[in-house]
Chain A
């Protein structure tokens, strides 16, 4: 069952990715304006722009260029950046490492924080701790990332100098230095993600805690902690898992704003630059990577749901 699911999903994923790549190419084509004028800037002559187009084969028809690009990509060659002539793969690889480590850090903060807050809220259902958590999660849901990020920056970097304001990282930094530099953006991301997940988990946990088998376990004298952690929590995780899968994809695709606020050298900043420069090969690579992560995260969430709930495994 699980193997079949994984195989069919992967086949579908390949089709999806090729479709996405064609769409991005088409979008880049129909957007108004001229790539040469974008890349070279305002103070250029038509002669220079023509030279640029010829060098990058931009004067050839769009389907022909897409064909060339697709053929190369399938062989692992993602082409070169229009702007600085560097191989796309090198550019994206380096930034992807940064974004993935930021995402991993945020995720490590997010998972336990969500479990803890949701469990506390459910156990103190309709009492003060629940209300406080509820207000906090609502606030995190309604605050845009850049407001939250800027607020954290001014509190924990300017007022209390605990963390650097800008998340500059470089290879010479130690693990601790890096971790410190990445803390504020990671916390921002974790808070944004946790808002929705805490509410989902709290609701399903309250439902489960109210169910007959939990009451039964309580009545036969199972310790309260064991009831919550062993019996209730795993059964309540289902909906939160789906939210987590969506959050994971948000992490890779949606860190753009957080990276911009903290000047963190990740995929998001690269994507912003690439779009403003109309650097199609780089945009393609980043969006495809985000799409692949999206598909993979959903697949993992489905597999976990199957593992957690034996009832889904029949059939």
Chain B
């Protein structure tokens, strides 16, 4: 008898789960939350503190609960956000931002200059430990001051022509004056369109509900948003196919084909975003010879790389951090593969069939597909007689054991505005100068552009700098990836961003 009861138990359980389940599946989708599946590249950190914005999962939560002074679009044009207008003095050393009136923080207090000053001073304080401290190096704590109750001034030593753009980085979301680290981390001390509900450490799903006092009329569109992390490509695919999530922030390349066939899901593609490529140190032989570097660039069939590695969901690169599709690019058309040209350069540099150029590339899949990129590069380089030896290692160790330590490595950089992109790794004093590119003439071009208030003259300066880097630098950029988002067809208002870490969810809504 005992035995028979035991046999029946699992059947009863499974049956119970099924019957209850059939009704519950319906109930879940009536909750009317937009369900957003994010990704997590570096392991879940779970913090709403903008100062420590490091991972994409956190990025969604921070973006939902905060606002910045100004916003920026995919072509790096700035638009009003918490600041309704701004202007600089003639030389570009004093920038004044007028704050929007009547904006309420989630705790009910009104936004004033004190909150903005607190936010920026907090980022510059070494004790906060924010990566923004180096990005905002042009600011000093004493140079950020209130100008009346509803205006803030940024005073800089030298002119900063793009200040509104440069203070619109992923850490500069405005937090409430005096808020302590713990509050900012778990409660979210912002003015954003959504409020966090019961933020728990390391929870892989977080619920955000509409902020009824939000200052933008008619926004956000959704009543609530559920942000989850789904790591496995096939699980993501199953989740959107079964209507368990509404938006996938990034569809993996190996599941794009399956989703293309699905009538219920639309695929949306961003403008070129993440730079992927290879870097060589220009002061380390054999890379100290520009003929070698140029040859290493000429061997690449860029379009083929985009087609093979990204299934076309990308754009060719031009050996500098500005995509050729950008209005600020120094040229929009990149020359194709030139094996003969590469061979001539190599011969001039003293290499031949009996004495070929032999180099070791360190590769790792910290962005999926980088190892494949290395392998394809190896084959293309072989056509010109370059022998590339591949050394592959685990992604988790790349940035602390390989990057900045080996002379020839793969690299990847998120999208940045031209001025920042050209400076972040290519100035003599840059912390992440992976190519050891230290050129006073290049920096002079950047400095001059950064101090030029006239936008078209400024972009001209960036173009000259980009040209110099493309033709002489140590960064090889065969392509840029594009973010492919999956959105269920009953949802609208989502647009994949080229700034991957910052999904825009104010305009998203789903009909049920």
Chain B residues whose CB sits within 8 angstroms of the CB of A158 once the complex forms: 238, 241-242
Any chain B CB within 8 A of the CB of A58? no
A274 to B232 CA separation, bound complex (whole angstroms): 18
Alpha-carbon separation in the docked complex, A86 to B205 (Å)? 17
Please encode chain A, from 87 to 110, with 1 for each CB lying within 8 Å of some chain B CB and 0 for all others: 000110011000000000100110
The distance from the CB of A88 to the nearest CB of chain B, in whole angstroms, is: 11
Considering only residues 394-438 of chain B, those with a C-beta below 8 Å from chain A are: 396-397, 399-401, 403, 431-432
Determine whether the beta carbon of A270 is less than 8 Å from that of B202: yes
Q: What 0/1 readout, one digit per residue, does chain B (225-260) give for beta carbons within 8 Å of chain A?
A: 000111110110011011011000000000000000
**Cα(A90)–Cα(B55), bound, Å:** 23
Which single member of A44, A109, A166 contacts B235 (CB below 8 Å)?
A166
Q: Does A235 contact B (CB under 8 A)?
A: no
The answer to whether A43 and B131 have CB atoms under 8 Å apart is yes
Assess whether A157 is in contact with B242, with CB atoms less than 8 Å apart. yes
Expressed in whole angstroms, the minimum distance between the Cβ of A267 and any Cβ of chain B is 11
Residues of chain A lying within 8 A (CB to CB) of residue B232? 260-261, 263
In the assembled complex, which residues on chain B have CB atoms less than 8 Å from the CB atom of A113? 10
Interchain CB contact (< 8 A) of B204 among A86, A116, A269: A269
Give min CB distance, A163 to chain B, whole Å.
6
> Are B242 and A164 in contact (CB-based, < 8 A)?
yes
Min Cβ gap A107→B in Å is 10
| Interface 9-mer from A47-55, A240-248, A296-304 | A47-55
A274, B42: Cα distance in complex, Å: 11
The reply on B512 being an interface residue by CB < 8 A is: no
Q: Which residues of B contact A164 (CB under 8 A)?
A: 21, 25, 28, 242, 244
Q: Are B21 and A84 in contact (CB under 8 A)?
A: no
| A16 in contact (CB, < 8 A) | no
- Complex CA gap A109/B15 in Å reads 12
B5: nearest chain-A partner, CB-CB: A112
Give per-residue flags for B272-286: 1 if the beta carbon is below 8 A from chain A beta carbons, else 0. 000000000000000
- Residue-wise, chain B 15-31 has the 8 Å CB interface mask toward A (1 for contact) of 01110111011001000
Given A41-B55, A166-B239: A176 touches B3 (CB 8 Å cut-off):
no
Looking at A84, A94, A263, A272, the one whose CB has the most chain B CB atoms below 10 A away is A263
Q: Does A112 contact B17, Cβ atoms closer than 8 Å?
A: no
Cβ–Cβ contact B42 & A263, under 8 A: no
Identify which of residues 53-78 in chain A touch chain B, using a CB-to-CB cut-off of 8 Å: none
Binds B, one of A32-40, A125-133, A204-212, A285-293: A32-40
Q: Does A153 make an interface contact (CB < 8 A)?
A: yes
* CB of B119 within 8 Å of the partner chain: no
Q: Contact between A165 and B239 (Cβ–Cβ < 8 Å)?
A: yes
Comparing A177-185, A195-203, A305-313, the segment that makes contact with chain B is: A177-185
Question: Can you list, as one digit per residue, whether each of A227-247 has a CB less than 8 Å from chain B (1) or not (0)?
Answer: 001000100000000000000
Complex CA distance for A179 and B130, rounded to whole angstroms: 43
Q: Does B126 contact A (CB under 8 A)?
A: yes
CB distance from B53 to the nearest CB of A (A): 10
Instruction: Say which size band chain B's interface belongs to.
Output: 35 or more
Nearest neighbor of A190 in chain B, beta-carbon distance: B10
Interfacial chain A residues near B239, Cβ < 8 Å: 165-166, 263
| Bound CA span A44–B323, Å | 25
Whether A168 pairs with B24 at a CB distance below 8 angstroms is no
Closest partner residue, chain A, to B231 (CB atom): A260
Q: Any chain A CB within 8 A of the CB of B100?
A: no
Closest beta carbon of chain B to A82's beta carbon, Å: 11
Question: How many Å lie between the Cα of A84 and that of B245 in the bound state?
Answer: 27
Distance (Å) between the CB of B146 and the closest chain A CB? 28
**In the bound complex, what is the Cα–Cα distance between A157 and B16 (angstroms)?**
17
The smallest beta-carbon distance between A260 and chain B, in angstroms, is 6
**Given contacts A168-B205, A265-B204, A153 and B238 within 8 Å (CB-CB):** yes
Say how far B230's CB is from chain A's closest CB, in angstroms. 5
Knowing A32-B397, A45-B134 are in contact, say whether A165-B205 is a contact too (CB < 8 A): no
Contacting chain A: which of B43-51, B91-99, B473-481? B43-51
Query: Across the interface, do A41 and B201 meet the contact criterion of CB distance under 8 Å?
Result: no
CB < 8 Å neighbour of A166 from B127, B200, B203, B244: B244
User: Which residues of A lie under 8 Å from residue B54 when comparing CB positions?
Assistant: 40-41, 43
> Do A161 and B399 have beta carbons less than 8 Å apart?
no
Question: How far apart are A59's CB and chain B's nearest CB, in angstroms?
Answer: 15
Please tell me if the beta carbons of A263 and B235 are within 8 angstroms of each other in the complex. Answer: yes
**Contact of B18 with A115 in the complex, beta carbons under 8 Å:** no
Out of B9, B24, B133, B185, which one reaches A180, CB within 8 Å?
B24
Which of A45, A112, A174, A176 sits near B10, CB closer than 8 Å? Answer: A112
> What is the CA–CA distance of A41 and B45 in the complex, to the nearest angstrom?
11
Pairwise interchain contact A262-B235, C-beta atoms closer than 8 A: yes
**In the complex, what residues of B have CB within 8 A of residue A265's CB?**
203-205
User: In the complex, are the beta carbons of B13 and A108 less than 8 A apart?
Assistant: yes
Q: In the complex, A261 Cα to B239 Cα: how many Å? A: 11
Max count, chain B CB within 10 A of own CB: residue among A37, A161, A162, A168? A168
Q: Are B238 and A179 neighbours in the complex by a CB distance under 8 Å?
A: no
Q: Which of A111, A176, A270 contacts B21 (CB 8 A)?
A: A176
Which A274-291 residues have C-beta < 8 A from chain B? 274, 276-277
Q: Is B327 an interface residue (CB 8 A)?
A: no
Nearest to B44 among chain A residues (CB) is A273
Q: A45-B431, A83-B45 are in contact. List 16 more A-B contacts (CB 8 A).
A: A32-B400, A38-B396, A42-B403, A47-B126, A51-B126, A108-B13, A109-B14, A112-B7, A158-B241, A161-B242, A165-B242, A168-B205, A177-B21, A180-B18, A183-B17, A274-B43
What are 26 A-to-B residue pairs whose CB atoms are below 8 Å?
A32-B400, A42-B399, A45-B134, A84-B46, A90-B201, A108-B9, A113-B10, A157-B238, A158-B238, A162-B18, A162-B22, A163-B17, A165-B235, A166-B228, A166-B238, A166-B239, A166-B244, A168-B228, A174-B24, A176-B17, A176-B24, A183-B14, A183-B21, A229-B3, A260-B231, A272-B43
Chain B residues engaging chain A, CB cutoff 8 angstroms: 3, 6-7, 9-10, 13-14, 16-18, 20-22, 24-25, 28, 42-47, 54-55, 126-127, 129-131, 133-134, 185, 200-205, 228-232, 234-235, 238-239, 241-242, 244-245, 396-397, 399-401, 403, 431-432
* The 7 A-B residue pairs with the shortest CB-CB distance in the complex, in nearest-first order: A176-B20, A180-B21, A165-B238, A37-B400, A33-B400, A86-B201, A276-B43
